[in-house]
């Protein structure tokens, strides 16, 4: 996919999210926030953390992913809210059609009801109808704007029903029931996977980093004790080996976070792209746990000796 196409898709997310800023400007702001995060975390790390650390890189990546991904996360939140209200809107449209009103009248009923962003999106479709477009074009435009699999499939069924002359009111009733069941199943899945979700947070963001923080403390203490017995020629090589091991440990933490965040998104949301929400937050939590554990154990080791 070309850069222009990616920027067009990203601009669509920004526009749908109703952010009062254009996509290129937001990308520049995101880059600035990431660079500032890297500089601040590097400064604080130099002051409080004596050994080599990947905190500046990890925090900068987390800030970049969160800020760049914010329009997408906001768009997904809006779509989720639309899908929750969609079954009620379809039921209301079915009742309106059964009362003898037209398709346009059914859309107007939804627009005038309190369905949040769904009513707002329906108003765009209604406006296109009033401007002279046919129903198929208006509804396809609605499906393209919302970018929801449920909405797109429903629009396709509605248009096919109109073309074949089927009873649209009855079909809308059936679809409304199906959408409500689908939404209920998603909520039940989230409730049933809460323990697995919390376990991944604890394992990837707290427990594993705590263990590696303890290992870091032991290695640092061992290096400090043995440095007095090494010659000046061997000391740089020993320090380099110690830094290499610490870097590998922190890289392993990052890999663990990537895996945990991806699994959290798949279990909780059923969408791997939702991992852009969990991975940055889990990454920050993991490095805080890692260095906090390292600091505490180093204090205990120093007190013991």
* pLDDT tens for the chain, residues 1 to 305: 577 888 888 998 999 988 888 999 999 999 999 999 999 999 988 888 877 788 898 899 999 999 999 999 999 889 988 988 888 888 888 888 888 888 788 888 888 888 888 888 889 888 888 888 887 888 888 888 888 888 888 888 888 887 887 777 888 888 888 888 888 888 888 888 888 888 989 988 899 899 888 887 777 766 666 655 655 665 566 667 777 888 888 888 989 999 998 998 888 877 787 888 888 989 989 998 988 888 887 777 655 54
Give Cβ neighbours of residue 284 (< 8 Å, ≥ 6 apart): 58, 59, 62
Give Cβ neighbours of residue 269 (< 8 Å, ≥ 6 apart): none
Q: Does the domain made of 83-180 have the CATH classification 1.10.3470?
A: no
- Measured CA to CA in angstroms, residue 104 lies from 77, 110, 122, 164, 173 at distances of 28, 10, 11, 19, 18
- Measured CA to CA in angstroms, residue 300 lies from 222, 226, 250, 264 at distances of 14, 19, 22, 34
Residues 80/268, Cβ–Cβ less than 8 Å: no
CA distance 293 to 289: 6
CA distance 166 to 163: 8
Own/partner contacts of 183-189, CB < 8 Å, gap of 24 or more, are 183/83, 183/84, 183/87, 186/270, 189/270
Predicted pLDDT at 293: 87
Calculate helix-pair angle for 194-202, 235-268, nearest 10 degrees. Answer: 170
Residues 292/64, Cβ–Cβ less than 8 Å: no
CA distance 217 to 16: 49
CA distance 227 to 113: 74
Predicted pLDDT at 43: 93
Alpha helices in 99-193 (DSSP H): 103-111, 117-130, 135-146, 149-164, 168-192
SS3 113: coil
- Measured CA to CA in angstroms, residue 278 lies from 44, 58, 65, 129, 198 at distances of 24, 14, 10, 41, 12
Predicted pLDDT at 248: 86
- The domain limits of the chain are 83-180, 193-305
Backbone angles phi, psi at 134, to 5 degrees: -80, 170
């Amino acid at each position: 996919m070309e850069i222009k196409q990616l920027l067009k898709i990203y601009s669509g997310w920004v526009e749908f999210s109703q952010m009062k800023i254009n996509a290129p400007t937001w990308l520049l702001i995101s880059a600035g926030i990431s660079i500032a995060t890297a500089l601040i975390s590097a400064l604080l790390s130099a002051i409080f953390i004596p050994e080599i650390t990947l905190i500046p890189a990890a925090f900068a990546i987390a800030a970049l992913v969160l800020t760049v991904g914010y329009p997408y996360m906001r768009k997904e939140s809006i779509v989720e809210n639309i899908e929750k209200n969609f079954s009620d809107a379809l039921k209301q449209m079915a009742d309106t059609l059964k009362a003898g009103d037209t398709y346009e009248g059914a859309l107007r009923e939804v627009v005038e009801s309190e369905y949040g962003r769904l009513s707002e999106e329906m108003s765009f479709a209604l406006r296109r109808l009033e401007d002279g477009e046919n129903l198929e074009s208006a509804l396809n435009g609605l499906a393209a704007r919302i970018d929801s699999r449920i909405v797109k499939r429903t629009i396709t069924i509605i248009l096919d029903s109109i073309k074949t002359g089927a009873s649209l009111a009855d079909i809308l009733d059936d679809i409304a029931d199906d959408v409500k069941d689908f939404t209920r199943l998603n909520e039940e899945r989230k409730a049933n996977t809460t323990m697995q979700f919390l376990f991944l947070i604890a394992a990837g963001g707290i427990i594993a980093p705590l263990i590696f923080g303890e290992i870091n403390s032991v290695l640092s203490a061992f290096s400090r004790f043995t440095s007095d017995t090494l010659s000046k020629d061997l000391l740089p090589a020993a320090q380099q080996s110690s830094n290499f091991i610490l870097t590998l440990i922190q890289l392993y933490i990052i890999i663990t976070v990537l895996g945990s965040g991806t699994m959290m998104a798949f279990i909780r949301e059923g969408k791997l792209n939702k991992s852009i929400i969990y991975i940055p937050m889990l990454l920050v939590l993991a490095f805080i746990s890692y260095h906090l554990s390292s600091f505490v154990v180093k204090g205990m080791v120093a007190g013991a000796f």
